[in-house]
Structure formats: structure tokens, C-alpha cells
Amino acid sequence: MKTAYIGLGSNLGDSLQVLRQAWLRLGQEPAIRPAALSCPYRTEPVAMASQHWFVNAVACLQTSLPPRDLLHTLLATEKEFGRTRGDNRAPGHQDRILDLDLLLYDDLIYNTATMTLPHPEMHRRLFVLAPLCEIAPDCVHPLLRRTAAAMLTDLAGARQHPVVQRISWPPPPGHKQGADSPNLFLRAAGDREGKK
């Protein structure tokens, strides 16, 4: 099994629920085993006209899928949730119900017309590095040879950046006072029955 990190984002609809359901949906894929999910972060929109703030998170997956097939699975999941990819010639970023970005796939360095690994913008994005540091502060960017924690420190001191606010997952359905935290639920949510 390979280790992959993905970025999850949404700024349309009930974004917290969209990300939760996307995480659960990925856990239903036979070749994917969810390992960890960060807290969600509310993020100011950047380089776009929209006033809809994003909710972002980062997840760790164990997978037997090669990177191209994993990317295809992520894109198919976006489409399943209603994501439509607009005109790429439009200026700036567009609103989206779900965005799933493949950030890292083990220490693979890969560059084609359809996929670049590691994700070329991840080290410049606070909404990626902050949640990544929650679940894997010591993971190393294979090109920069910097840990997630070091990249976050670099970014925090480098320049002005958009507002990124850590928030909480809502309790899962049926959650009772004193039960395991929602984050623990979400980390285990992709496990098959009998593994919980």
C-alpha cells in the first residue's frame, strides 16, 4: 500500500457535510483505506470574485491504486457530488461543491500534462499546510526536502496570506454526549464494518 495525501475543499452548499460525505465515500473504495483526516479550516477565497468562503481539510489515505488511477477516482468522486468543471479560460478560480486534490503520493515526483506530483502549489497554501501539519507534520516534500511543519513556518513568516480559521466537524448522526470525538469518528469512518 502507498501513502497519499489529498486536499479536500468546498465553498458551495453545506461544505462541512460535503467534505464529511466525500471522506466517507472514498472509504468505500476497495483499494483505498482512510488513515487520518484533519480538522476543517474555514478559508477566505483567493484569486476569485466569489464571496463564498471555503472549508478545507487534508486527509491521509493508504491505497493500492497507482497515482493516475487514484486521481481518476478523486475526479469521479467530485463529479458524483455534482462538481462541474467550467471553462478553464475563465479568470481566477471558480466556486465548487467539491474539490479533491492529490497533494503527495509517497515520495513520487511526477509531471505530465494531466498530473503533477507533488502538487505544485501545496507549499504556498496555508489552507493545505495547516491541516497537513495536524496529521503529518514530519512528512517531507520530495522536491523541496522540507517537512510540512518547516514549510508552514516558512509560509507563516514570508508574506501576508488569506485568513484561515480552524473550526470543528459537526457531530456525526447519532453522536451522544461522552462518545468518541467527531474527528475520531471521521478517521475511522472509512473502515469496513467489523474494523471499527
Q: What is the pLDDT of residue 158?
A: 72
Please report how many Cα atoms fall inside a 13 Å half-sphere around the Cα of residue 3, on the Cβ side: 10
> Taking Cα atoms as reference points, which of 101, 64, 66, 65 lies closest to residue 83?
101
Q: What is the pLDDT of residue 193?
A: 34
Residue 158: enclosing H or E segment and its boundaries?
helix 148-158
Structure confidence by residue, pLDDT tens digits, 61-79: 999 999 999 999 999 999 9
pLDDT above 90 for 195: no
Question: Any idea which residues carry the catalytic annotation?
Answer: 83, 96, 99, 101
51: CB partners within 8 A, 6+ apart: 45
Using DSSP's 3-state secondary structure scheme, residue 103 falls into: strand
pLDDT above 60 for 192: no
Write out the three cell numbers for 36.
487520518
Structure confidence by residue, pLDDT tens digits, 146-175: 999 999 999 887 766 778 999 999 887 776
Fold category of 2-188 in CATH: Alpha-Beta Plaits (3.30.70)
Structure confidence by residue, pLDDT tens digits, 89-138: 455 578 999 999 999 999 999 999 999 999 999 999 999 999 999 999 99
Structure confidence by residue, pLDDT tens digits, 47-56: 777 889 999 9
The bridge status of strand 116-117 relative to strand 110-111 is antiparallel
Q: What is the pLDDT of residue 80?
A: 96
Please report how many Cα atoms fall inside a 13 Å half-sphere around the Cα of residue 85, on the Cβ side: 10
Dihedral sign, CA of 30, 31, 33, 39? negative
Using DSSP's 3-state secondary structure scheme, residue 196 falls into: coil
Structure confidence by residue, pLDDT tens digits, 11-25: 999 999 999 999 999
Q: pTM for this structure? A: 0.85
CA dihedral 146→36→57→22, nearest 10 degrees, is 140
